[in-house]
């Protein structure tokens, strides 16, 4: 079972970027631990600072047989109708995640342009947001498969 984690702009710097907001733990290390904890899942990791590349990753994920996507679109969350359109265009579920609680921050971060196309949103649990998103995706997929 292949699931893709897609990180958007500035998220290659998790661990060193504004640690008081995003924490100081390394994303690569977290991902290694996550992969070990969910050894039956093939977790692919992609990151880009470019909106168009993120859109390409979503289509690529579906075309390559991934069953779900965990997406932290960074600041594009609040601006990108193009990303929303791509999320709506694909048939596999997308969970929106954020390290910080976007609703407890500046007002321009309160709105998500992409949330309406997503299965759900997990925001504010630091790196654990990604694990919670994975759990949510797996529960959803199990539920869908049991009905088939």
47 binds ligand DQA (CB under 6 A): no
Q: What are the angstrom distances between the C-alpha of 106 and each of 74, 101, 109?
A: 14, 10, 6
Q: Are 82 and 55 in contact (CB under 8 A)?
A: yes
Known catalytic residue: 110?
A: no
For the bound state, the minimum distance from the C-beta of residue 35 to ligand DQA, rounded and expressed in Å, comes to: 20
23 binds ligand DQA (CB under 6 A): no
75 binds ligand DQA (CB under 6 A): yes
Q: Are 10 and 17 in contact (CB under 8 A)?
A: yes
Question: Which residue number, 82 or 141, has a Cβ lying nearer to ligand DQA?
Answer: 82
Which string of DSSP letters, residue by residue, matches 119-131?
Answer: SEEEESSTTHHHH
Counting residues that bind ligand DQA (by CB under 6 A) gives 10
For the bound state, the minimum distance from the C-beta of residue 15 to ligand DQA, rounded and expressed in Å, comes to: 13
Site residues for ligand DQA, window 77-106 (CB under 6 A)? Answer: 77, 98-100, 102
Known catalytic residue: 57?
A: no
State both tokens at 70: 């965990």
- List the 68-72 sheet strands across, edge first: 42-47, 2-7, 68-72, 94-98, 120-123
Question: Which residue number, 39 or 53, has a Cβ lying nearer to ligand DQA?
Answer: 53
Query: In angstroms, how far is the first alpha carbon of the chain from the final one?
Result: 17
- Contact set with ligand DQA (CB under 6 A): 10, 72, 74-75, 77, 98-100, 102, 109
The catalytic residue positions are 22, 98
């Amino acid at each position: 079972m292949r699931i893709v984690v897609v990180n958007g702009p500035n998220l290659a710097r998790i661990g060193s970027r504004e640690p008081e907001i995003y924490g100081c733990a390394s994303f690569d290390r977290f991902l290694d631990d996550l992969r070990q904890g969910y050894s039956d899942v093939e977790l692919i990791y992609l990151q880009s600072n470019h909106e168009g590349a993120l859109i390409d990753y979503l289509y690529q994920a579906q075309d390559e047989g991934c069953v779900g996507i965990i997406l932290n679109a960074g600041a594009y969350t609040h601006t990108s109708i193009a990303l929303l359109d791509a999320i709506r265009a694909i048939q596999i579920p997308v969970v929106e995640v954020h390290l910080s609680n976007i609703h407890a921050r500046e007002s321009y971060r309160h709105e998500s342009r992409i949330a309406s196309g997503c299965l759900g949103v997990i925001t504010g649990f630091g790196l654990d947001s990604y694990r919670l998103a994975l759990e949510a995706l797996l529960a959803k997929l199990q539920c869908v498969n049991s009905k088939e």
